[in-house]
Amino acid sequence: MAAAALFATTGCSSSSGSHAASTVTWMSWETTQTNTAMDAAFTAFTKTSGITMKRQEAPNADYAQKLASLIMSKKVPDFFWCSNVEEQTLAAQGLLYDWSAYAKKNQGLDMGKFSPGSLDSWYAKGKLYGIPTLANTYGVFYNKKLFDAAGLKVPAVGWTYDEMFSDAARLTGRNGAKEGMVAQWALLQSPFGLAQYAVSAGGQPLAPTATGVTHVTADPKVVEAAQRYAAAVKAGQISSPEANTLNSSSAFANGSIPMMFGGQWLAQTMVTSKPSFDWGFVPMPQVKEDVQPTETNGVCSPSTLGNPDQVWKAMSYLDTTVFNVTMRKVPVAPVAYLPGSTGYFDGLVGQGDGPRIMAASVKSELNAPKKVQTGFMETWSTKAQNVVTAVWNPAVAGKTDTAAGVARTIQQINALASGS
């Protein structure tokens, strides 16, 4: 408690009011290449608005600690990159500016043009404490050569879980592959990945809201999904949630993995690796209804912000124009503000057939009207992940009773959420 009080007390001042209103300072965790590209893209904004953009240097490593240090030393810039978890934590301490009034005006940014669901997790108690920027999308990379050899139709937007499990079974052992499908990212078999299955089947999400979660439930369809995964893992068809799959992207690029679940950013690994086979990327499968995950990073401002009009204009230009310019050059991630993703999609299309297929899939996923979150954002989320590792993963791996493991996970997470 003492540490939290110190953080809140010392973080309530900002350097924002110390510079001229015609200057906006900002800080990102992006690479040097991306920061340089964004600096150049902001040049046109300065010419038309008269607002000078001054980027404050910040190392990629230990960004969260650097941000906390800047807040406590009263040197935080006018807006800065922040994760959803950081935004919720800082907002709870009263350290962030509330952009709700600006959002309601629909000036600079049309709030109706954000990807469905992407704004939900940036609100806290009805107040908007951050603006989503780059989005992560998740799905399955597939090796078309191995699908053709197995006589299987390659996945496409709208494919089903029945098809995914069947394909994994048919592809196991192909080209020496240990499993037909490898989960490079934990989301697939996590409580949130299985909640996506449940909602697609007509069930309920883990929690009714994205933030302020105090109680979670597991729909019966979550148990159904967990049992399907457990059976596939035990049969050696899908990688275990306990497996170390960090090197799977290189293995996929080498042609030894038929299907790999991961995020859209891995496309650049494929482009660089230049695999000898055709590949594609499809969104997460569905049971009945198209339901996709939503996950974004964003930008936040200190509660003591002295020039909100100028900062709102700068952040709006970032989402509408700067990312269009930078992501066209290196298409790593789409933008939650859909008009700001044109450059990303153009960049992908220009990289070949695999990236072109990916562009269509990512666009479909971003526009899916129903979304589920990819993680908890409450202060107890780290402890909840420990429960997932210790209780949930063995159950989904088929090492313990699956239904009992799901129930025990939910029970222990609720104990954390209630503070008991």
pLDDT of amino acid 35 = 93
Assigned token pair, 289: 């209804």
The neighbour count for residue 344, using CB atoms within 10 Å, is 26
Q: Tokens at residue 56, please?
A: 């404050």
Q: What is the reported pLDDT for 5?
A: 27
Length of the chain: 420
In whole angstroms, give the CA distance from residue 374 to residue 396. 17
CA distance 395 to 391: 7
Closest CA to 295 of 341, 334, 245: 334
Within 13 Å of residue 97, how many CA atoms lie on the same side as its CB? 25
Q: What is the CATH number of domain 138-293+373-418?
A: 3.40.190.10
**Per-residue confidence (pLDDT) for residue 2, from 0 to 100:** 30
CATH class name, domain 11-133+297-363: alpha beta
Question: Residue 403 to residues 88, 216, 226, 239, 397: CA-CA distances in angstroms?
Answer: 32, 16, 8, 19, 12
Positions in the chain whose pLDDT score sits under 50: 1-20
Q: Is 246 exposed, middle or buried (0-12, 13-18, 19+ CB in 10 A)?
A: exposed
Give the H or E element holding residue 295.
Answer: strand 291-300
pTM summary value:
0.92
Q: For residue 331, what are its two tokens?
A: 């298409």
Whether the CB-CB separation of 171 and 235 falls below 8 Å is answered with no
In this prediction, residue 141 carries a pLDDT of 98
For Cα atoms 192, 103, 307, give the angle at the middle one, nearest 5 degrees: 115
In sequence order, what DSSP letters do the residues of 253-285 get, joined into one string? Answer: HTT--SEEEEEGGGHHHHHHH--SS-EEEEE--
> What pLDDT score does 194 carry?
98
Q: How many CB atoms lie within 10 A of CB 379?
A: 15
**C-alpha distance across the termini of the chain, in Å:** 17
- Residue 59 has a pLDDT of 66
d(CA 218, CA 406): 8
Give the per-residue pLDDT at 70.
85
Q: Compute the C-alpha angle 82/190/371, nearest 5°.
A: 60
Residue with tokens 């230049």: 274
Cβ–Cβ < 8 Å for 333, 136: yes
Residue limits of CATH 3.40.190.10 in the chain:
11-133+297-363, 138-293+373-418
pLDDT, residue 21, reads 54
- Per-residue confidence (pLDDT) for residue 19, from 0 to 100: 45
